[in-house]
């Protein structure tokens, strides 16, 4: 099981001040030291968090594979084909959304669609391509027909559910993972996963990669807060030569 860390939120904090810290490239180094198997970044069309410069630097400095999340937008596909990340995950993207909402809708027929064009261009460039989709059998089969190597199952509905509905969503993920694997697809999963809910998903044997961002960034703030305050306090004290 590979754990890919989504570091978009580091860029979100930086963009809140349009400054140069915190740098997601430094976050990637620390994530790798912590054991990340890969780094995930979503280059949104509106560049609200990750910037082109971040992806370019990550591709040059990361020691683990970069998974570039992106919309089916010709301008972003152009960049991916020029940059050649190890993996691209195609996601739906709406400007108003807070985060990715739901999986990618695969049009029927898919022939001639923007999605098919994007997948062909990425495949021709030799980039491993994954589609972020809802855990639905028809969507998994449609992904296979498109010729992608992998699907990332959207775990958001599982993450939000409780009680019997959570069990139902988990069973849905299990069935989808088994189907995907039986068709020869690599099966990834992600969205809304936390320390509290990741266990049952990580237990699904067919899932080989997890993408987790928000919960890890939230936890990192808290495990780092005390030290960050202490270091600032030391600097202020030292400036006054106090004790
Ligand atoms: N996978 C995809 C395709 C996503 O869009 C996101 C959110 O950017 C994630 C995984 C990670 O979700 P979360 O931040 O909730 O862990």
The burial class, CB within 10 Å (0-12 / 13-18 / 19+), for 183 is: middle
Of the two residues 97 and 239, the one the predictor is more confident about is 239
How far apart are the C-alpha atoms of 204 and 93, rounded to whole Å? Answer: 28
* Annotated catalytic residue 214: no
Window from 25-39, 65-79, 104-118, 224-238 with minimum mean pLDDT: 104-118
Output the DSSP codes for 124-146: HTT-EEEEEE-S-HHHHHHHHHH
Q: Residue 213: CB within 6 Å of ligand 1?
A: yes
Residue of 69, 152, 157, 206 with catalytic role: 69
Asked if pLDDT for residue 242 goes beyond 70, the answer is: no
H or E stretch covering 203: none
How far apart are the C-alpha atoms of 175 and 169, rounded to whole Å? Answer: 10
Asked if pLDDT for residue 2 goes beyond 80, the answer is: yes
Window from 10-24, 98-112, 121-135 with minimum mean pLDDT: 98-112
| Cα 190 to averaged position of ligand 1 atoms, centre (Å) | 6
Q: Residue 31: CB within 6 Å of ligand 1?
A: no
Q: Residue 191: CB within 6 Å of ligand 1?
A: yes
Of the two residues 96 and 6, the one the predictor is more confident about is 6
* Stated length of the chain: 243
Q: Residue 11: CB within 6 Å of ligand 1?
A: no
How far apart are the C-alpha atoms of 30 and 27, rounded to whole Å? Answer: 5
Taking Cα atoms as reference points, which of 146, 156, 148, 140 lies closest to residue 211?
A: 156
* Annotated catalytic residue 191: yes
What's the pLDDT at 161?
98
**What's the mean pLDDT in 112-121?**
95
Question: In testing the pocket of ligand 1, which one of 154, 214, 217 has its CB within 8 Å of the most ligand atoms?
Answer: 214
| Cα 78 to averaged position of ligand 1 atoms, centre (Å) | 23
How far apart are the C-alpha atoms of 203 and 174, rounded to whole Å? Answer: 10
**What's the mean pLDDT in 53-73?**
98
What's the pLDDT at 97?
73
What's the pLDDT at 176?
98
Asked if pLDDT for residue 160 goes beyond 80, the answer is: yes
As given in the structure block, the two tokens for residue 103 are: 């999986």
Q: What digits encode the pLDDT tens for the residues 77-113?
A: 999 999 999 999 999 987 777 777 789 999 888 888 9
Cβ neighbours for 99, distance < 8 A, ≥ 6 positions apart = 191, 214
pTM score, whole prediction: 0.95
Question: In testing the pocket of ligand 1, which one of 39, 41, 99 has its CB within 8 Å of the most ligand atoms?
Answer: 99
Q: Residue 156: CB within 6 Å of ligand 1?
A: no
Which conformational region is residue 153 in: left (phi greater than 0), alpha (psi within -120 to 50 degrees), or beta? Answer: beta
Asked if pLDDT for residue 158 goes beyond 60, the answer is: yes
What's the pLDDT at 241?
79
How far apart are the C-alpha atoms of 39 and 50, rounded to whole Å? Answer: 13
Write the residue with the smallest CA distance to atom 9 of ligand 1.
Answer: 191
As given in the structure block, the two tokens for residue 125 are: 């460039």
Domain ranges of the chain: 2-239
What's the pLDDT at 46?
95
Q: What CATH superfamily is the domain 2-239?
A: Aldolase class I (3.20.20.70)
Residue of 9, 154, 188, 191 with catalytic role: 191
How far apart are the C-alpha atoms of 42 and 210, rounded to whole Å? Answer: 15
Residue 101 backbone dihedrals phi, psi, to 5 degrees:
-110, 110
The burial class, CB within 10 Å (0-12 / 13-18 / 19+), for 54 is: buried
**What's the mean pLDDT in 143-168?**
97
Residue of 42, 49, 154, 188 with catalytic role: 42
Cβ neighbours around 145 below 10 Å, total = 15
Judge contact between 105 and 113, C-beta under 8 A. no
Q: What is the mean pLDDT of the chain?
A: 96
Q: What digits encode the pLDDT tens for the residues 175-213?
A: 999 999 999 999 999 999 999 999 999 999 999 999 999
* Annotated catalytic residue 42: yes
Q: How confident is the model at residue 243 (pLDDT cuts 50, 70, 90)?
A: low
Beta-strand ranges (E) seen in 107-205 are 128-133, 150-154, 186-190
């Amino acid at each position: 099981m590979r754990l890919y860390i989504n570091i978009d939120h580091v860029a979100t904090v930086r963009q809140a001040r349009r400054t140069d810290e915190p740098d997601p490239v430094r976050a990637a180094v620390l994530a790798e030291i912590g054991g990340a198997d890969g780094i995930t970044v979503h280059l949104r069309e509106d560049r609200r968090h990750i910037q082109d410069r971040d992806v370019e630097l990550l591709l040059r400095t990361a020691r683990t594979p970069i998974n570039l999340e992106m919309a089916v937008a010709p301008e972003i596909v152009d960049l991916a084909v020029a940059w050649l990340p190890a993996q691209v995950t195609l996601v739906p993207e709406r400007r108003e959304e807070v985060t990715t909402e739901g999986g990618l809708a695969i049009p029927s027929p898919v022939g001639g669609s923007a999605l098919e064009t994007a997948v062909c261009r990425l495949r021709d460039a030799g980039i491993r391509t994954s589609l972020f989709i809802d855990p639905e059998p028809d969507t998994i089969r449609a992904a296979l027909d498109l010729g992608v190597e992998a699907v990332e199952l959207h775990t958001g509905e599982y993450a939000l559910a409780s009680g019997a509905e959570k069990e139902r969503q988990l069973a849905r993920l299990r069935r989808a993972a088994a189907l995907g694997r039986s068709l020869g697809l690599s099966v990834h999963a992600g969205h809304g996963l936390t320390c509290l809910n990741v266990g049952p998903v990580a237990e699904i044997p067919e899932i080989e990669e997890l993408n987790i961002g928000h919960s890890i960034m939230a936890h990192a703030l808290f495990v780092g807060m005390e030290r960050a305050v202490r270091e600032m306090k030391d600097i202020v004290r030292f400036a006054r030569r106090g004790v």
